[in-house]
Amino acid sequence: MVEKLVESIVGDLTESIRGQKDLLSLSLVGSFSDPNKRLESSNDLDFVFIYNQINLEIMGRLKEVAKILKEKYSSSETEVNYTFKIGPIKLPSKKQKNLLIHFLVYSKDSYFQYESILTRYSFQHYLPLLGLPLKSINNFESVINIDIFNEIDGIPAIKSWINKKKVAYLEPKSDGFEIKESILDNDLYLEVIFYSILWLSNNILRIFGEYYPDIDKSMCERFKQRILIEMGDFPLKIYLYKKKMRSKIKISKKEADKIKSGAIKFISQCEAYLRENLSKK
């Protein structure tokens, strides 16, 4: 069973917006869609909201709900926080455990305008909490291969995040989105590298017909078996580094530099592999 904290937050959020005007779909996506998922030291709880249109009233209500959830469920051991920013975002926490609630809020038009097919393809595999399943909104059956090279979250974007130590994210507004940049420092930079490498590995497996709903050890092991490149074991190493950091174990500057250089080399090998093998499909 999903831990009681997550189960309660999901229930409260769902009930608080049930019947909200213009809501088309609410889905819990990511690892906590699995009822057997356990809380770790650092956790993301990702909700996708799709509306016909977004206005000040809708955003105001969602922000009220976010504040209520933070106040109600934070404790001396666990910090519950939230963000409406859309992108690879982490917030620092000094408590033993932290849970970051992502409010991924879109109008139907902005969902198609700002989210890549890779992300929408991933989201459509999760069941809705309210309204329509995302699969019926997306209305496509398979990932488009070349989308791995898209500028939103594909290889060009990942290269930019790592080389420039900056990420772009979306800040939802009542009349659309504002695109902003965030400079990455220290642990947050490593978190973005971990995110980039593990999701790139996951998306490559999807392109070749294998779907893993979560970033876990089995996905990393399968990548090594299926994608025959020199650095095929790099995702597993990154996964273990991520577990290390989430356990509050400090990663040295020497290790961090090694991770960055390995990530750049790994991305180059993946790009070469894809360009060669996609042409054969």
Pairing of strands 23-29, 78-83: unpaired
Domain shared by 133 and 11, yes or no: yes
Q: Are 25 and 130 in contact (CB under 8 A)?
A: yes
- Give me the residues paired with residue 48 across strands: 27, 104
Judging by DSSP bridges, how do beta strands 166-173 and 78-83 pair with one another? unpaired
In whole angstroms, give the CA distance from residue 131 to residue 184: 37
Q: Consecutive 10-residue runs of the chain (281 residues): their mean pLDDT? A: 83 94 93 80 90 91 96 92 86 78 93 88 91 90 76 92 90 76 86 94 90 87 97 96 84 93 97 88 56
Q: Are 193 and 234 in contact (CB under 8 A)?
A: no
In contact, 97 and 40? CB cutoff 8 Å? yes
Considering the domain architecture, whether residues 9 and 130 belong to the same structural domain is answered as yes
* Residue at a domain's end among 142, 175, 203: 142
The tally of domains found in the chain comes to 2
Sign (positive or negative) of CA dihedral 100, 85, 32, 129: positive
Range of the domain at 273: 185-278
pLDDT of residue 1: 46
Q: Is residue 154 part of a domain?
A: no
Q: Is residue 224 included in any domain, yes or no?
A: yes
* 3-state class (DSSP) for residue 141: coil
Beta bridge partners of 131: 25
Q: What is the pTM of this model?
A: 0.87
pLDDT of residue 71: 96
Whether residue 110 sits in one domain with residue 59: yes
| Whole-number pLDDT of residue 281 | 56
* Cβ within 8 Å of residue 113, ≥6 positions away: none
Same domain, 112 and 190: no
Whether residues 73 and 191 share a domain: the answer is: no
26 and 101 co-located in one domain? yes
Q: What is the rounded CA–CA span in Å between residue 104 and residue 185?
A: 24
Residue 101 CA to residue 47 CA, distance in Å, equals 8
Q: Could you give the CA distance from residue 127 to residue 135 in angstroms, rounded to a whole number? A: 9
Q: Are residues 31 and 111 in the same domain?
A: yes
Q: Which CATH number is 21's domain given?
A: 3.30.460
Cα 176 from Cα 165, distance rounded (Å): 26
Do residues 94 and 100 touch, judged by C-beta distance below 8 A? no
The answer to whether the Cα torsion of 203, 37, 92, 66 is positive or negative is positive
| 234: amino acid identity, one letter | F
The C-alpha atoms of residue 257 and residue 236 are separated, in whole angstroms, by 18
Query: Quick check: 149 and 155 in contact, CB under 8 A?
Result: yes
DSSP letter at 250? Answer: P
Q: What are phi and psi of 89, to 5 degrees?
A: -110, 135
Distance of CA 238 to CAs 12, 125, 194, 203, 262, Å? 35, 25, 6, 16, 10
